[in-house]
A and B are shown apart, each in its own frame.
Chain A
Amino acid sequence: MPGTKNTLHDTEETCMNIRSYLYGSAIALAVAIPAFAQDSDVTIVLNEDLETVEPCMTSQSNIGRVIQQNISETLVELNTKDGSLMPRLAESWEAVDEDTWRFALRQGVSFSDGSAFDAADVVKSYERAVSDQIVCEIGAKYFGGMTLDMEVVDDHTLEITSDPAQPILPLLMSTLTIVPSETPFEFMQQPVGTGPYEMTERNVGQNITLERRDDYWGEVPAVTKATYLFRSDDAVRAAMVATGEADIVPLIGQEQATNPATDFAYPNSETTYLRVDHGVAPLDDIRVRKAMNMAVDREAFLGTLLPQDAEAATHIVPPSTLGWNSDLSPWPYDPEQARALLEEAKADGVPVDAEITMIARIGNFPNVTEVAEALTQMFGDVGLNVDLRMYEVAEWIDLYSKPFAEGRGPSILLAMHDNSRGDPVFSMFFKYACEGLQSGFCSPELDQIMADATAATGDDRAALWKDAFAMIHNDLVADVFLFHMVGFSRVAERLDFTPTIATNSELQLAQINFK
């Protein structure tokens, strides 16, 4: 390994450095303490350091918040407010036929390494995302189960043919970050992109600095330099804005969000629900599932364990998603009715007294343990015998995903699902198709509706998804939907910036202005 010698060398340096380090700090202290940053600089505090700075990993929240649209841009940009698509590196696009789309690419765009942007870069970016030489999360998450054939018509025209047909291909392209065609098949340590900023410094575990590029193709943003810091503790992050050490904290705890001048709640596109395993009695009985839905006092959670702005859920996806069915209303809290349903089921020989395991994940979302404990008591109050088990993430994922263990007992699993891309297709197959990796049941009828919806476009698509949602919520009573969640951000008063649903996955510096 080439690092070996370096290693020993590093250790020596470490020991040598202690003194010079302290000395250096003392000087820095004497000189730099009042050296407040320039007014157009911002400091952003994230909850974890970035594991990598590789653009094909931007579907991870923190990597996305630093890189997406700041360093690396996409062909198309999703407007999370209304679900519409906006041009970014592609100026326009059109469907050539059922399975082929043509994209007209922007001209005069250059990467931060100086090379010019053209169609070959898009091809390479896709190849990297789905390559088996590196594992890219974007590829695994958005481009599984399909092959895209990219044909370069000329430097700035690209035709993409998909198999099977993808009516939402432009939406998919909003996830693909573009890197130069020279990029090798290994993770980048210095990301290169076409965006308005470039990474000028990275001290692992401590900070990342982005600085504004002079040769960006678009409008010049107001922020000249952004420094990202990493603190895991909610209270500390919140305190840093209060003390003036930071300007934006995308994520603070509900308990810390007490100052209306700086703290904003925003829907974070996450939905919590209980995945019910229909494979084991008594949960195979629809009356039991109805009773569970009626046993949950959703109102009682709001403003207590969960933020006041969270919403009782009826879908697995947030309200801004295509095909959202506004006719659905949450199951009412009705313990009397729930008890009656259970009695009825019991009379028919359904083993409603069986111990049901509630599986929850440690640290899944703020207050998850308390929410799970409260749910346990609510189920207990209507006569169900629910036993809470908190699991560590790895084991929880095994229990969440197929194949399920043979001879397992009845179980419900508390999970949170994120769909910020505006189309149900990214959620529904995994959660509800017979073959779905996290689906607790199988309904051929529902499978058919979902297959039709996936192939449809426009209003048809919306209408079909609407049917699917209604079927899951009302007819099948598949799961116990809980809440569409909100997150809290703290933004310094000197900034003009309002967090939105997009803040969960990206944080565009270009959208930040100064008051």
Chain B
Amino acid sequence: MKSFLTKRAYASLISLLFLVVAVFFLSRLTGDPTNLYLPVDASLEARENFRALHGLNDPLIVQFGRYLADLAMLDFGESIRRSRPALDVVLEAFEWTLILAAITMTVVTISAIVVGSLAAFRVGGLFDRTATFFSLIGASAPDFWIAIVAIVLFSVNLGWLPTSGTGTVWHWIMPIGVLFVRPFGLILQVVRGSMITALGSAYVKTARAKGVASRPIIFVHALRNAMLPVITVIGDQAAAILNGAVVVETIFGFPGVGKLMIDSILQRDFAVVLAAIMVTALAIFVMNLLIDLAYSVLDPRIRY
């Protein structure tokens, strides 16, 4: 186990490095930040001055070397747009995203497993059909649609919730609600599908035959086996939120990492882009590690 973790840590470090190299060079392909930073009518000397100040005149490989050297000292560079350390900017935003992702995924996972399993118990029954139908409609509706309709309904017309922003618990309800819809539909479907297979499989039948007849026990047996693909999808959806729930963050004015990332990409604020990617990548690596550990817990035949 310990050697597995060490190995995994090294592997992740290499992946991270690979990611940094890819992002550094690929993002540089999208042009020079000078024109974006300075007004359209800035003079040529002002542009030259800007390039010199931020070291943009050096060959790319020199810039990369400098970046790596700084990185080795845990210096992630400074945001060109914000004139502040890039890592500070990213961590401020990531804090929000992390909380949002954690709450949303917990709520989603619990409700999807409960509803999905219940649906699988009576395939084609009323509960199954209703749950499938509505979760799918929810999962396939554009999120900005749901968000704006929710604001019009709950804030403007009913006055129950604040439109946007942060501050109180009430502010979190709509963003989480909107983020909830899609992963819920997806995970519910996978849970349902897996459970149908698992409930029909030999060992559940065996369990039944052996007389472990009570529903809860069958449920637990089947669920345990059905969880493998479910966990993968949960991981995928959590990664999507950790990478930034851009649409939700944009509409609800939520200061998360997704909005920061898209803004920085569009403004060519490379230091922030790189720092944001490293922070989110690290979070995703840790999450994937947890998922792999969960695999082996659920299925003892899987060993690392």
On A, residues with C-beta under 8 Å from B are 1, 3-4, 6-7, 10-11, 14, 17-18, 21-22, 25-26, 28-29, 32-33, 49, 51-52, 54, 59, 132-135, 137, 139-141, 144-145, 186-187, 189, 204-206, 229-233, 235-236, 239-240, 242-243, 245, 392-395, 397-398, 400-401, 426, 430, 437-438
Contacts and interface: CB of A to CB of B under 8 A. Distances in A.
Interface stretch (B16-24, B33-41, B133-141, B291-299): B33-41
What 10 pairs between A and B have smallest CB-CB spacing?
A205-B255, A144-B43, A1-B75, A140-B46, A187-B83, A140-B42, A231-B253, A394-B31, A4-B74, A397-B35
Among the interface residues A1, A29, A139, A438, which one has the most CB atoms of the partner chain B within 10 A?
A: A1
Contacts of A239: 151-152, 155-156, 163
16 contacts: A10-B88, A10-B91, A14-B91, A14-B95, A28-B167, A132-B49, A132-B53, A144-B45, A187-B83, A204-B255, A229-B165, A229-B253, A232-B259, A395-B31, A400-B40, A430-B41
Contacts of A393: 36, 266
Interface in B44-71: 44-46, 49-50, 52-53, 70
A330 B167 CA distance: 51
Contacts of A134: 53
A299 to B, nearest CB: 29
A205 B92 contact: yes
A33 B94 CA distance: 27
A158 B94 CA distance: 49
Contacts of B83: 52, 54, 186-187
Interface residues of B, number: 65
B99 interface: yes
B166 interface: yes
B64 to A, nearest CB: 18
A394 B267 CA distance: 8
A52 B250 CA distance: 20
Contacts of B76: 1
Given A4-B75, A25-B168, A430-B40, A242 B156 contact: yes
B159 interface: yes
B50 A135 contact: yes
B155 to A, nearest CB: 5
B30 interface: yes
Contact of A204 (B75, B89, B165, B169): B89
A245 B266 contact: no
Contacts of A392: 266
A393 B39 CA distance: 12
Contact of B159 (A3, A54, A243): A243
A74 to B, nearest CB: 18
Contacts of A189: 84
A398 B53 contact: no
B155 A243 contact: yes
A3 B88 contact: yes
B229 interface: no
Nearest to B84: A189
A214 to B, nearest CB: 28
A54 B84 CA distance: 12
B75 A25 contact: no
B38 A137 contact: yes
Contacts of B181: none
A18 B94 CA distance: 13
Contacts of B91: 7, 10-11, 14
Contacts of A10: 88, 91
B205 interface: no
B142 to A, nearest CB: 14
B203 to A, nearest CB: 40
A233 B251 contact: yes
Contacts of A132: 49, 52-53
A242 B76 CA distance: 42
A273 to B, nearest CB: 13
A189 B96 CA distance: 22
Contact of B30 (A33, A139, A394, A430): A394
B209 interface: no
Nearest to A60: B39
A433 B106 CA distance: 62
B87 interface: yes
Given A33-B168, A132-B53, A235-B148, A397 B40 contact: yes
A44 B259 CA distance: 21
